Structure 1
């Protein structure tokens, strides 16, 4: 399965690209399909920021439309403020709860735009907290927009003219006092396709139940995420976007980010979820994860079991997402030992991963080489591999959720 996102450049008065508007698409057709706006926005955000944008957070400003409810819930605060400009859709009512949300997000450093703005006294109180006003010049005449610009000089506002479709419109908008410009005359939206991996149906169903419990069992949620490649990858990228520290465990990250924020992120991810497309790499990633954690748990080693687990889980991200593993790993908060294990198969973690791969390939000589190097009993690692094969199958879903390793039963 693939995701499709369109991005349309926004230029300044010198025609330099200064930002992009992200637009939801379901295929190569450059048009918005009929889909619930909340779901469309959720998919666009999750897929761009936490799944398909494998180069990490390039220093580019993105404008994204947000429906009313997502604004009131302050969903935009899940994303880096220096990369995101929040667009308030034109059909959002200027209510008190929206005003409070806008003021709060502004105070947190977020840039906010009024999209397809039609001047109204009810929006005046919002203007001190707004960064940019976008006028659709097909709906509001350039001359009328210019009047508004001149009448609101007391505010530190930028103005963007969209739907520019001719050189004359561009010139008129420049003379009228607009700062930025967008339209097919300048650039058409560019469709970007990215490989998408999905969570298992079991994980999605169980998370939907868990997130609505009262009180919420965050230990259960942690296990559900930990045993799902897609949710683990997205959450790791979310952690990396908001915390500067190296990953230790989901429990530590939950507390550092705040449980309310984690709940909001999970809810958004579930809204964006698709059905899982079966992949052999998905299941073997889970097998590697469990094999590696079993080995790392031995007293022989002084290793962080979580690091070993995620080295196994993320070792085939390049095959799942069809991008170089080195690019994908840059977006995750892993320590140097884990990174070296994944990219160079170095160190103790690298040897454990090498042993897992040798078992997959039924390469007896490599199995012997790695067990000797790690000073392990091959009969024990044989059992670990059998455990991993069983543990990764759907039949063991509930066993995994109890937080137990198969070999400990």
Structure 2
């Protein structure tokens, strides 16, 4: 399955690209599809920031439309403030609830824009918390725009002219005093297609139940995420956006991010979820994860078995997402040993992964070579491999929910 996102450049007075507006698409047809705006925003955010690795411009500002409910729930705060310009859609009501949410997000360092803005006294109290005002030059007259800009000279506001479709409109917008410009006369939206992976239907169904329980069992949620490649990868990307610390465990990650943020993240991920199509690479990656974890847990290695687990799990991200593995692992907060194991298959973790791959290929000579190097018996590792094959079958789902499955035979 594929993700489609349109990205339209925003330029300054010198025609330099300074930002992009992200636009939801469901295919190569370059227009907004007939879907719920909340669903569209959820999928766009998850797929762009935490799943498809589609940014391509790490330090670029992205304008994203947020419907009313997303703003009230402060969904934008799940994403890095330095990469995001929050656009308040034109159909949002400027009431007290929205005002409170906008003020709070502004205080957290987020930049906020008013999209398709039409001057109104009801928006005046919002302006101290607004960074950019977007005027659709087809909807608001030049005289009204000039009048508004002159009346707010003392406010620290930037102005963006959108829907510019020819040179005459661009020249007029420049004379008015706009800071930024957007439209087909400058750049058409570029549609980006990327492979995406989905969470298993079992994970989605169980997370929907778990997140609505009172009180929420976060240990159960941690297990459900850990046993799913897609949720683990998204959460790793999420962690990496907020912390420079090396990953140790999801328990520590939950403590760093806070349970409220984790809850919002899961809810957004579930809203954005598509129907799952099982993949051979998905299943074999889970086999590798459970095999590597069992081997790494042996006392002789004295390493964190959790890192071995994720080395196995993420070892085929390149095949799942159809992107270079060396680029994908850079977005994960794994330690250097785990990254080297994934990108170069070096070190103890790399040898353990090599042994898992040898079992997949039924390569007996490589199995013997790796077991000799790691000083473990082929009989024991064969048992580990059989455990891993059993572990991902539906019959073991209840054990994973209860957290009772042992690493050792």
Common fold: TM-score over 0.5: yes
Match of 1:36 in 2: 36
Distance 1:57 1:74, change over 3 A: farther
Are the counterparts in 2 of residues 80 and 242 from structure 1 also a CA contact under 8 Å? yes
Are the counterparts in 1 of residues 291 and 384 from structure 2 also a CA contact under 8 Å? yes
Distance 1:56 1:399, change over 3 A: farther
Partners of 2:29 and 2:211 in 1: CA distance? 35
Match of 1:201 in 2: 201
SS across alignment from 2:135 = strand
SS across alignment from 1:135 = strand
Partners of 2:377 and 2:256 in 1: CA distance? 39
Residue correspondence of structure 1 range 273-284 to structure 2 within 5 A: 273-284=273-284
Partners of 2:199 and 2:317 in 1: CA distance? 14
SS across alignment from 2:63 = strand
Partners of 2:257 and 2:278 in 1: CA distance? 32
Match of 1:22 in 2: 22
CA deviations 1:60-100 (Å, max 9, x no partner) are: 00000000011011110111111100000000000111101
Once the two structures are overlaid, the 10-residue window that deviates more, 281-290 or 298-307, is 298-307
Partners of 1:92 and 1:403 in 2: CA distance? 44
Partners of 2:407 and 2:196 in 1: CA distance? 33
Match of 1:397 in 2: 397
SS across alignment from 2:403 = coil
Match of 1:70 in 2: 70
SS across alignment from 1:353 = helix
Match of 2:313 in 1: 313
Displacement of 1:112: 0.1
Displacement of 1:394: 2.4
Are the counterparts in 1 of residues 358 and 367 from structure 2 also a CA contact under 8 Å? yes
Match of 1:5 in 2: 5
Matched, 1:285 2:279: no
Partners of 1:243 and 1:291 in 2: CA distance? 29
Match of 2:260 in 1: 260
Displacement of 1:405: 3.0
CA deviations 1:371-400 (Å, max 9, x no partner) are: 111110111111100010111122222212
CA deviations 1:224-254 (Å, max 9, x no partner) are: 0000000000000000000010000000000
Partners of 2:405 and 2:356 in 1: CA distance? 17
Partners of 1:16 and 1:209 in 2: CA distance? 48
Displacement of 1:142: 1.9
CA deviations 1:265-317 (Å, max 9, x no partner) are: 11000000001122100000000000001111111210101101000000000
Residue correspondence of structure 1 range 127-206 to structure 2 within 5 A: 127-206=127-206
Partners of 1:88 and 1:283 in 2: CA distance? 41
TM-score using structure 1 length: 0.98
Match of 1:224 in 2: 224
CA deviations 1:125-146 (Å, max 9, x no partner) are: 0000000000111111122111
Are the counterparts in 1 of residues 384 and 408 from structure 2 also a CA contact under 8 Å? no
Unmatched 5+ residue regions in structure 1? Answer: none
Displacement of 1:406: 5.0
Partners of 2:24 and 2:54 in 1: CA distance? 18
Are the counterparts in 2 of residues 391 and 406 from structure 1 also a CA contact under 8 Å? no
TM-score using structure 2 length: 0.98
Residue correspondence of structure 1 range 208-219 to structure 2 within 5 A: 208-219=208-219
SS across alignment from 1:11 = strand
- Matched length: 409
Match of 2:339 in 1: 339
Match of 1:125 in 2: 125
Displacement of 1:57: 6.3
Partners of 1:40 and 1:191 in 2: CA distance? 15
SS across alignment from 1:370 = helix
Matched, 1:237 2:274: no
Distance 1:381 1:408, change over 3 A: closer
Once the two structures are overlaid, the 10-residue window that deviates more, 135-144 or 393-402, is 393-402
CA deviations 1:197-225 (Å, max 9, x no partner) are: 00000100100110011110000000000
Partners of 2:24 and 2:227 in 1: CA distance? 29
Residue correspondence of structure 1 range 346-361 to structure 2 within 5 A: 346-361=346-361
CA deviations 1:130-171 (Å, max 9, x no partner) are: 000001111111221111111111210000010001111111
Partners of 1:81 and 1:57 in 2: CA distance? 15
Partners of 2:298 and 2:43 in 1: CA distance? 41
Partners of 1:151 and 1:367 in 2: CA distance? 76
Matched, 1:246 2:208: no
